[in-house]
Chain A
Amino acid sequence: MRPWLYITILAAAAGSQLGATDCGQALRDSGFDLWCGDTLCAWKVERGDIKRVPTWNEGDSGVELVGSDVAIEQLSPVTSSDGTCLEVDMIANVDDDADVELDVDISDDGTIEHSERVPTSHWKPLTYQIAIAPPFSGVRFEIAKTGTGTAQLANIGAKVVDGCGGILPVVQGPAPLGEPCIDGTGCASGLCAPSPLPTPFDDGTSVTQVCVACTGDAACGTGKACAVTDAVSPVRAAPVECVAAGSKGLGDQCSEGAECATGICNAFACSTCSETSPCADGETCGASWPTPFGIYTAYVCSPGGHVRTTGEPCAQNADCKSGTCIATGVRMQCDDGRACATAADCPFVNLQNGPCNLVGLEGGTCQ
């Protein structure tokens, strides 16, 4: 593909991910209404136990944090592009003997940047406002309870509002790789550069800068390449860091050919052919697996044409003359090309993680 075509496609792909919040609402199932058996569907129990309890009506459920050390959490895709002021509404029934805190982890790096104590309350609405210094991408909300008293929650809504009225913004610590940045001072790595791939927080109109570990192969030294690696959070971009040159297999996400064992990076995936490295013997270069926009998939010669011989790389059985492609596993990836194991690894659309799709075989070799 030509570079201009990539840019157009990337812009379209990034634009399609806009609207990570739901009309300004940053948390899914803020009312604890969705239960999958005995656990919440949209919230993750970090520790301890929970149980379903009635609230104002027998049919409207809330969650009780059972025990003396319990925590539930949910990662919100809210970014500084959505707004920098969050208004948190909460309805809770909290005894004197229970200590409940609302913790805020900006960018999902495991560091709690801000905590609010939930006071003793009997189903009275509480409202907090939290200002967060931009840029940021993603906030993990954690509700933790200690103590023996009852703590029941009926609703916790986080909504992006226009302004926090002068509240001092929470500044996150040194940003991890893949987090948006303005310059290197906010990054743990000290480096801030345009992301070589679309990010979960791109607005589709400009290339977002993210914290990176390197800005070129030269910085990585001999035998290494500055490459994108597997994403660690659905709210952050795939990290850019030094990897061994040629260490990526067919179909792995890439930004340049040096990363790939084949030496060819086509449509952001390690490939065996491209416009500049065409197939021999009249074979055509094509996507090994159908994907949106025809990107994030390996380009191979005669895909599905049963022409690859023993030992040649393959993405599906139909690539091989023998009809058998021996692989180390199946390749699963999100719509933005990042590798995933489950949907929870994929960037959000409307507060829900995007799909984790099967896109062929991983590490395949024709028999």
Chain B
Amino acid sequence: MSRISLLAACALCGTAAAQPAPTPIATYAIVVGSNAGGPGQTELRYAEDDARSVGALLVELGGYTAQQVDVVVHPTPDQLRDRLARLGERVTADLAAGRQSRVFFYYSGHARAQAIDLGDAELPLSELRQRLFQVPATLTIVVLDACQSGAFSRIKGAEPAADFSFSSREHLDAAGVAVLASSSGSELSQESEQLHSSYFTHNLLVGLRGAGDENGDGEVSIDEAYRYAYHQTLLATAETAVGGQHVTFEADLKGHGEVALSFPRAATAAIVLPPQLEGQTLVEDKRAHAVIAETYKARGAAVRIAVAPGEYEVIVRSGATLSRCEVDASGAVELDHCRSEPIVASTTKGGAWLSPNRISVGLIVGPERQDGYTANLQAFGYVEQGLAPASAGISIAWLRRIDRRIWVGAAGSYVGMPSWKETVTGENASQKLAWSTAALAAVARGEQPFAASGIASRFAAYAQIAAGLGIGRTVLTNAQAMTYDDNYLGPAFSAGAGLRVQGPHLHPLGLEAGYEFDYAPVIKDLIGDTHASGGHRVTLSLTYSF
């Protein structure tokens, strides 16, 4: 399935007019968001918020009145059918009255190849297309935000096999129809916990607020919005585990000329990023502690971002420096009053990755290492028990991503080793040694995905090392049933490598299989030998990323 955020923007108020002034052309927008997924789908976190944001922006900057924007959150298929039917009636009435109409349709949520998912129910795409086509609008703009994958980000869909965006476009492609899709056919769309939005919708909104106004005419056309959203979304998603997400756009707008989606020039307030400012730039609403816009600002031209009146701060990251700049009453960024500070590693690393944490629970199995200690056991008449004696245990690890390929963290393990038994000759008695080793260690791991995107990106090879504290325990039960329990401390080391696969549909679960060599010289005997617990091990782990 794929998340579709159909942003159908009702045609813009069309004209290249400078103001969103009353127009003889009727404008309508249906903005739909649904976090709920169908069976097996992870619930989205920001689809409904995105819909609300799009609806608000249409009113704020798109020239719509609140009555013209119908924000529909978490609808059932019947509710959506009803909204579309009512829209059709209104446009038909307008047409009968000799007025042209423009329709903007936006959808953000889960979708499958053949349907959009509205919670447990589905609305077939064919039906959605049919109902949209039945609306006799002069111009219809459809925006699809279809999320198809996301290893570290929340995802909005999961079936890369079919390209909803593309197929929808094929069906909707007609005179007066434009389709903006959040990703290409083979890609999955992603949400960002940092942005509290999907990458695509966030960048589309930032572009509509003025950041996408390339020609500086105070309006953001659909072409400008697309180009801005394309570059910024690709830039923002390039380093995620899912890989770059390419926004697509196709339109047949013959006769309509330049179609403006927003009019940031009409905003009552704006922040102006000066020409000399360069770097990754965030506009933060200081009262709401929310990021209003994130964009890469290139040197050379001013960028005007329309905002609601309020108090803002602009944060610019350039190289190893983070600058916090005040915004004056006119909206200009006061570069002379920026507070600069070095980027601390944790901020850079921790904030740069989606789902940067991973926990894993695994099984360990392998033959126990033989050494002087075990040779002593043999010499004293003990025999290792079991047909194929093997050590086995469990491991638990927490890792945090600090770089594109580097993870660090901590791990704990408990391994029970094969018992040893000495039979007292001529007696129905024996002596038995049960032993185990636990370890607490710091872990460093390098991980290399097999590809940047696509199915192969879900597979990765890894290598890791660990060092820490080993805790050994021996329990000897002698021939007279007396028990001697001893504990030992010492260093513990481990090195290994393996393969990792992320779960299907970008589920946060993953699976790892590998080899490791453990070495923990911990357990000592009374005659001078130490057993280095460990040896060659096979590991199998289940992971959860968050």
Contact = CB atoms under 8 A, between A and B. Distances in A.
Given A31-B422, A59-B478, A54 B380 contact: no
A28 B425 contact: yes
Q: Output the residue of B379, B477, B483 with the most chain A CB within 10 A.
A: B379
Interface stretch (B25-33, B108-116, B426-434): B426-434
Interface in A219-251: none
A59 B484 contact: yes
A124 B433 CA distance: 20
Contacts of A31: 380-381, 422, 424-425, 431, 479
Contacts of A55: 380, 526-527
Give the one of A29, A31, A352 with max B CB within 10 A: A31
A170 interface: no
A157 interface: yes
Interface string A121-148: 0111100000000000000000000000
B169 to A, nearest CB: 76
Interface residues of B, number: 28
A155 interface: yes
Interface string B163-184: 0000000000000000000000
A59 B481 CA distance: 10
Nearest to B376: A56
Chain B interface main SS type: loop
B480 interface: yes
Interface string A75-103: 00000000000000101010000000000
Given A27-B426, A60-B380, A351-B426, A34 B484 contact: no
B525 A29 contact: no
A56 B483 contact: no
Interface string A27-58: 11111011100000010000000000011111
Contact of A58 (B379, B424, B479, B484): B484
Contact of A351 (B381, B425, B431, B474): B425
B482 interface: yes
B440 interface: no
Given A31-B381, A34-B479, A125-B379, A54 B526 contact: yes
A123 B424 CA distance: 19
Nearest to A61: B478
Contacts of B376: 56, 123
B483 A58 contact: no
B476 interface: yes
A350 interface: yes
B486 interface: yes
B425 A155 contact: no
Interface string B351-382: 00000000000000000000000001101110
A29 B476 contact: no
A154 B526 CA distance: 13
A346 to B, nearest CB: 15
27 contacts: A27-B425, A28-B426, A29-B425, A30-B381, A31-B380, A31-B422, A31-B479, A33-B431, A33-B478, A34-B429, A34-B480, A55-B526, A55-B527, A56-B526, A56-B527, A57-B486, A59-B431, A59-B482, A60-B380, A122-B528, A123-B376, A123-B379, A124-B379, A155-B380, A351-B425, A352-B426, A352-B427
Interface of B: 376-377, 379-381, 422, 424-427, 429, 431, 433, 474, 476-480, 482-484, 486, 525-529
